[in-house]
Amino acid sequence: MALIPVGETGPRLHRAARLEDAVHEVVERRLVKRGWEPSIITYAGYGTTEWVRVMARVLLSRPVPKTGWLARRGSADRPKKLRGWRSFATVSQMNAPVIITAGGERHEAIGDRGGFVDAVVPAKLEPGWQTVTVQSGDGEPVEAPVQIIDPAVTFGIVSDIDDTVMVTALPRPLLAAWNTFVLDEHARSAVPGMAVLYERLRTAHPGAPVFYLSTGAWNVAPALNRFLRRHLYPVGPLLLTDWGPTKDRWFRSGPEHKRLTLERLSQEFPRVRWLLIGDDGQHDQEIYAEFASKHPDNVAAVAIRRLSPAQAVLAGTLPSLPESDTSVVSARFGRKWLGAPDGAGLSQLLTEAELL
C-alpha cells in the first residue's frame, strides 16, 4: 500500500493555530474517553483514468446504539430545516489515518489538523461517476463519489457559488455571519436562470465537468450540495476551503484559495479550456483576469454575473461597470469576457460566442 501524507508539515505553526490545536486535543481526548468514535464524511472527488483525488473528513461522533428507538431512527427523523451554525458544531479527529480503496487498490492517507483528508491516489477507473471508499480504523468503509473525466474532454466549467448560483449578499461581515450561521438553508434563493444555463452547457458539451469553486468552508458542503440538488444544478465536485486559523495566519485567504485551485486545475487538465463563471461582487473578475493572462490556452471565456446596484451595495462593492467597459476588459486580455445580470442574459451571450 502507498502512503499518501496529507497532514500539514513545515515551519512552526502560527500561535492561533497552536491555541486551536491545544483546545482541540483536550476536547478530542475527553470525547474519546466517553466512547465517541471516528466517523467519515466524504465529498465528491474527481480525477482521470489514471488517478483520482479523494476528499473526506474524519469526525468524532457519539456511538449510536445497535438496538432501541435510537437505532431505528432513520433519515426521515432528521431535522427538515437546518441552521448554518450546526455545520460548524463538529469535532474532528486530528491527523487521522484512513484507508482509501480506489480501483481495487488500497492506499494509506493521513488527515490534517482539521481532520480533512485530501489525497491523490493512482487508480484505473472508467470515465463518468465512479465510487471509491474511505475507511477509518476498524469502522465500515464509506463510499465517496468521484467524477472521472474522459481524456477526450476539452471543455469544462468552473463556477463560483456565492452570488453566482446562490444569492447570499457576501462578503459584508454581519450579513455573511447571518447567512452562514443563522439563516435556514431553505431560505436561500437561487440566481434566476443559472441552473438552466448550466444544464444547457452540459448538453452542448457532453462529459464536461462542473466544478463549484468557493471560499466557503467544508463544514457547509452538505448544505451546499442539498441546495444545488434542490435547484437542479448539475452535479459536480465542490472545491471549498478549511475553517479557522492556518499554520501561518489567523484566517485563510479566500482569493488565494481560488488562485491556487485554478492553477491546480490547469496542471491536472492541461487540455481543458475552462468557462469561468463568477460575479462582480467579490474578487472573481480580478482572479479570472489573472488566470486568463497566465493561461490563455486554458480559458474558453469568462462569464460574469453583474449584480444590481442594491446587491452590489449589500455585497460591499460599487455597482458593476457599464457593459461598454467590459469590452475594454475583454480586449485587454484577448478573451471572450461576458457580463449579464442573470442566467438568461449570460446564455444569450454564450450562444453568440458559439459556446452554446
Separation of alpha carbons 169 and 307, rounded Å:
10
| Grid cell of 285 as nine digits | 473578475
Set out the domains of the chain in order of their start, with CATH numbers: 2-148 (2.60.40.10), 155-352 (3.40.50.1000)
pTM over 0.95? The answer is no
Does the pLDDT of residue 350 top 90, yes or no? yes
Q: What share of the chain is helix, strand, coil (3-state, %, to 5)?
A: 35, 30, 35
Provide the residue type at 201 as one letter.
Answer: L
* Mean model confidence pLDDT for the chain: 79
H runs (alpha helix) in the chain: 15-33, 69-72, 173-177, 194-204, 221-230, 254-268, 284-294, 309-314, 323-333, 343-352
pLDDT (tens digit per residue) in 275-294 = 999 998 878 999 999 999 99
pLDDT (tens digit per residue) in 299-311 = 999 999 998 665 6
Lowest-confidence segment of 5-14, 63-72, 76-85 by average pLDDT = 76-85
Does the pLDDT of residue 17 top 80, yes or no? no
Which residues, 6 or more positions from 355, have their beta carbon under 8 angstroms from its beta carbon? 201, 204, 275, 300, 301, 336
Residue with cell 468552508: 217
pLDDT band at 267 (very low <50, low <70, confident <90, very high): very high
Number of H helices, E strands in the chain: 10, 16
Q: Give 252-256 contacts, CB < 8 A, sequence gap 24+.
A: 254/215, 254/282, 254/283, 255/215, 255/283, 255/286, 255/287
pLDDT (tens digit per residue) in 180-235 = 555 566 667 899 999 999 999 999 999 999 999 998 888 888 888 999 999 999 99
Q: For residue 82, what pLDDT is reported?
A: 46
